[in-house]
């Protein structure tokens, strides 16, 4: 035998005897020189996660080929490659084929490697990546992270589990994850062209922001936040655009300064028409809501609500006086076929039957504690009315009857000059002008 080959053979034999060669390589054990194979690995490894646990399941190799299963974990997607790397999670008897790793962090990526053991030998790694779920919000939460970029928040919209907040103070839009309130991104500068943004609406695919100072509307993708286009000038007739609404095909914009409503196609951004004058009776319109085939517009200085056809824009009627009880109507919320109106100076909430196109009643006084209400939102049979004058509070009402349910206030909520309010069906979100967000359960 060649001297170098003989030396290599002796080195390999010595390593095998010491247990240093593992995995798929054979080792020589005992005086007889019998060869011992490393145990085979587990197969069919799977991972399922919650916000605080990762459950692993696998198929073990043939009985008797191994004695233990070792589980090791690492943060991120790079799984431990050996029994000396990563963090030891557990060593289990060969009878186990599943394990629950408890106490892991929410919204975190972990990688796991499983090794079968037999004596000093171990198998190669079988690995899997697990991403834990977000931790559900519970109770009352106050979000004040300066990283959010909040500055005089003024309007909100929700879509696909994400909350979009318009910041009038720094011409930006902040995106948060509704499940845990985590910051996603803040959009500003460049082509977005935000200028005094005051209103926002989404159709689930795209988001539109009304720029009151810029007399324009910015459109971006809801999935990524990527800018799509900025609409301005010409026939759009934007003049202090404020409120927006979508009927799924077109976008309607209330022009607060021009006492008009602009309609454009959601798909292309093409101008459709601008409604103004005559029977429309628009007078500093601030908010819109689409109810079936009709659009309703709140006219702040006109103490009225205008109704027109979504298709064609024909005027239907203008509601005012009497049982309407409007007093500077500032916000609209639709619950089924009922439209609710928050009246800022009237310290009241008005109810409109959209099917009949008539005012039903007005709620005020007593336990409602309305105090300059400027926002209203509805979900799950409940209404929440945002009171913008000190002491700041939110009044909860029954959407079925208008009955008072509760008045939410105090240090626990930390309302501080609150302006917009929105429910995503699970949570109620209130943006405070002091650059914080208050969140509480919707049920």
Longest dimension (CA), the chain: 112
Which CATH number among 2.60.40.10, 3.40.50.720, 3.20.20.100, 3.40.190.10 corresponds to the domain 43-131? 2.60.40.10
Which token pair is 260? 């008009």
- Looking at residue 21, its pLDDT comes to 35
- Looking at residue 18, its pLDDT comes to 36
CA distance from start to end of the chain: 83
pLDDT tens digit string along 275-331?
998 889 999 999 999 999 999 999 999 999 999 999 999 999 999 988 899 999 999
Which residue's structure tokens are 């007093």? Answer: 327
User: Which residues of the chain carry a pLDDT beneath 70?
Assistant: 1-35
Which token pair is 110? 């972990």
Give the domain ranges of the chain.
Answer: 43-131, 141-441
- In the β-sheet with 373-379, what is the strand arrangement from edge to edge? 373-379, 382-387, 393-398, 404-408
pLDDT tens digit string along 351-397?
999 999 999 999 998 889 999 999 999 999 999 999 999 999 999 99
- Looking at residue 34, its pLDDT comes to 58
What DSSP letter does each residue of 238-249 carry, written as one string?
A: -SSEEEEEE-SS
Pair 305, 299: CB distance under 8 Å: yes
Which token pair is 290? 């689409």
- Looking at residue 321, its pLDDT comes to 84
For the domain bounded by 141-441, which CATH number is listed? 2.130.10.10
CA distance 311 to 273: 11
HEC readout, 284-309: CEEEEEEECCEEEEEECCCCEEEEEE
- Looking at residue 145, its pLDDT comes to 79
Q: Which of 166, 399, 221 is nearest to 385 (CA)?
A: 399
- Based on DSSP, count helices (H) and strands (E) in the chain, helices before strands: 1, 38
CA distance 354 to 286: 19
Share the mean pLDDT of the chain. Answer: 91
In residues, how long is the chain?
A: 443
Cα-flanking dihedrals φ and ψ of residue 101, to 5°? -90, 105
Q: Which of 55, 10, 3, 5 is nearest to 28 (CA)?
A: 10
């Amino acid at each position: 035998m060649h001297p170098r080959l003989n030396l290599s053979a002796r080195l390999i034999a010595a390593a095998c005897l010491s247990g240093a060669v593992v995995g798929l390589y054979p080792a020589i054990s005992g005086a007889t020189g019998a060869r011992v194979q490393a145990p085979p690995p587990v197969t069919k490894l799977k991972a399922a996660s919650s916000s605080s646990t990762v459950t692993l399941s696998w198929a073990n190799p043939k009985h008797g080929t191994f004695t233990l299963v070792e589980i090791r974990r690492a943060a991120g997607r790079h799984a431990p490659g050996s029994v000396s790397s990563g963090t030891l999670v557990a060593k289990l008897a060969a009878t186990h084929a599943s394990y629950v790793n408890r106490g892991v962090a929410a919204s975190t990526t972990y990688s796991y490697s499983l090794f079968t053991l037999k004596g000093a030998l171990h198998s190669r790694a079988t690995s899997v990546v697990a991403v834990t779920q977000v931790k559900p919000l519970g109770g009352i939460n106050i979000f004040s992270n300066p990283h959010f970029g909040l500055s005089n928040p003024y309007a909100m919209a929700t879509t696909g589990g994400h909350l979009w907040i318009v910041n009038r103070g720094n011409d930006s839009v902040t995106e948060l994850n509704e499940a845990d309130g985590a910051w996603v991104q803040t959009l500003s500068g460049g082509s977005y062209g935000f200028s005094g943004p005051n209103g926002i609406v989404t159709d689930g695919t795209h988001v539109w922001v009304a720029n009151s100072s810029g007399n324009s509307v910015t459109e971006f993708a809801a999935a990524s936040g990527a800018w799509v286009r900025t609409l301005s000038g010409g026939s759009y007739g934007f003049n202090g655009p404020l409120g927006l609404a979508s009927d799924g095909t077109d976008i309607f914009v209330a022009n607060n300064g021009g006492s008009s409503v602009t309609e454009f196609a959601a798909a292309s951004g093409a101008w459709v028409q601008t409604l103004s004058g005559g029977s429309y009776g628009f007078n500093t319109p601030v908010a819109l809501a689409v109810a079936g085939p009709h659009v309703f517009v709140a006219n702040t200085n006109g103490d009225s609500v205008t109704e027109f056809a979504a298709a064609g824009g024909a005027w239907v009627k203008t509601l005012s006086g009497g049982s309407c009880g409007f007093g500077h109507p500032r916000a609209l919320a639709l619950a089924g076929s009922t439209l609710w109106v928050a009246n800022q100076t009237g310290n009241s909430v008005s109810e409109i039957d959209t099917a009949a196109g008539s005012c039903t009643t007005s709620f005020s006084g007593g336990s409602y504690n309305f105090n300059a209400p400027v926002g209203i939102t509805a979900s799950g049979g409940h209404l929440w009315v945002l009171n913008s004058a000190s002491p700041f509070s939110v009044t909860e009402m029954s959407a079925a009857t208008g009955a008072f349910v509760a008045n939410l206030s105090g240090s626990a909520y930390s309302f501080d000059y609150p302006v917009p309010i929105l429910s995503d069906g699970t949570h109620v979100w209130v943006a405070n002008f002091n650059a914080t967000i208050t969140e509480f359960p919707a049920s």
